[in-house]
Amino acid sequence: MYRISPCKEFGSLLYLSVLALWLFASCRSVQHFSSPLPGEYSVRVSKVSASGYKNVKRVRQYEFAHRDVPAAFDGCRLAFVSDLHYRSLLKEKGLRDVTRLLDDLHADALLIGGDLHEGCEYVPAVVAALGAVKTPLGTYAVLGNNDYEACYDDILKEMERQGIRLLEHKVDTLERGGERILIAGVRNPFNLGENGQSPTLSLSSDDFVVLLTHTPDYAEDVPVTNADLVLAGHTHGGQVTLFGLYAPVVPSHYGQRFLTGLRYNSNGTPVIITNGIGTSSRNIRLFAPSEVAVITLRRLE
């Protein structure tokens, strides 16, 4: 009689357990989180398919309720896109579909997290595509390591031409109904010698402040005092993962801690990390779907 060895039985059981865990996790389409400090903020996270839009597999939606969100900004929608790496896995048709999706989301502002290109010749096209997305409150961006390594001057010129506000250790104001929120951006978060002081330090704790940084590590490496929400990319969600639960390679000093989704720094500041759109090194994604994030602000009474 043929007998299955204990090792094979264990391997099969482990595989089925991991698969079941992944299926269970993917079925939880809506998740709720509350702040460590009662009454400060709450987050509701859901994922919907972005079928019909090439190279964007899903839209991850966050409903972020915070006590500092002004009443006029209740329901304000911020679209966040990062790591296009054009042209990697993302090609011309994919780029057109990204901008079509961003238009169809009808966001109030567009936020860009950097790593725009995979070659200087692609900078005008990718910046023009993002600049073509029009929102009532404008478009704001930070840059990633790829952008600082090459074509920096080209990016600055193209962003100025397209009316995209580049926030390099700067703070901009979004105004609506006579009230405001603040968007702060980090210049080259990998150079802590020059940029190791967060642009949020001089702001008021009474304002609602969103901090844009390419890498989530920045929110742990330096104090991001007065930031109510941090948005980051860079990790690609691991790009290649084991059922979305573990990534062998994560471009972060903190391993799996800031892999994807809603995470927190050591001070409890919420950090939303998007998988982004494109790829680097290899043009493949496995259980790390490309995505656009939408953050709907709510006033927490």
Which residue(s) pair with 176 in the sheet? 179
Residue pair 189/212 in contact by the 8 Å Cβ criterion: no
Rounded-to-integer distance, Cα 245 and Cα 222, Å: 27
CA 176 to chain centroid, in Å, comes to 24
What is the enclosing helix (H) or strand (E) of 273? strand 270-273
- The most distant pair of C-alpha atoms in the chain lies apart, rounded to whole Å, by 80
Amino acid identity of residue 217, one-letter, is D
Residues 19-74 have pLDDT tens digits of 444 444 444 468 988 887 778 999 999 999 998 897 899 999 999 999 999 999 99
Residue pair 39/67 in contact by the 8 Å Cβ criterion: yes
pLDDT band at 155 (very low <50, low <70, confident <90, very high): very high
Rounded-to-integer distance, Cα 113 and Cα 136, Å: 19
Does residue 261 come out as left (phi exceeding 0), alpha (psi in the -120 to 50 range) or beta? left
Tokens found for residue 165 = 């506000």
Positive or negative CA dihedral for 28, 30, 35, 38? Answer: negative
Rounded-to-integer distance, Cα 278 and Cα 5, Å: 42
Give the contacts of 294 (CB within 8 A, at least 6 positions apart): 59, 60, 61, 62, 77, 78, 79, 80, 105, 107
Tokens found for residue 103 = 């238009």
> Can you give the pLDDT at residue 16?
42
Angle at 139 between CA 196 and CA 154, to 5 degrees: 70
Mean residue pLDDT across the chain:
92
Domains and CATH numbers, the chain: 29-299 (3.60.21.10)
Rounded-to-integer distance, Cα 233 and Cα 185, Å: 13
Smallest CA-to-CA distance from 280 within 156, 117, 166 is with 117
pLDDT band at 249 (very low <50, low <70, confident <90, very high): very high
Rounded-to-integer distance, Cα 41 and Cα 44, Å: 10
Residues 91-134 have pLDDT tens digits of 999 999 999 999 999 999 999 999 999 999 999 999 999 999 99
